Amino acid sequence: MIQVTERDGAVTFRLWAQPGARTTELAGEREGAIKLRIAAPPVEGKANKECVRFLAELFGVARSAVEIKSGLSSKTKTVRVRNIDTRKAREKLAGWPG
């Protein structure tokens, strides 16, 4: 099960990134993390930028509200999203695409 924690008006969760995909999309769960296929190569921060863009759109927040806290050069990342609560985050994750 994906663990989403809430603190100080933000949620934090683990994400497993698969760069170089055809499209950016949620692809289920992997080892307790959200699996995200990313339509960008893992060079020069392009995959991380696409990850932030996608998550901001998914959660309906500004890109500046999405922060990769750890794992910038790893497939496994810890992501923090401000201006959202756990309930809304789980709804968005369960309802994508939508």
Residue 98 scores a pLDDT above 70: no
pLDDT of residue 96: 58
Q: What is the pTM of this model?
A: 0.92
pLDDT digits (tens, 9 = 90+) for 15-49: 999 999 999 999 988 888 999 999 999 999 999 99
Q: In the chain, where are the structural domains located?
A: 5-95
Say how many C-beta atoms besides its own lie within 10 A of residue 68's C-beta. Answer: 19
pLDDT digits (tens, 9 = 90+) for 65-81: 999 999 999 999 999 99
pLDDT of residue 2: 82
Architecture of domain 5-95: 2-Layer Sandwich (3.30)
Measured over the CA atoms of residue 26, residue 28, residue 34 and residue 39, the dihedral's sign is: negative
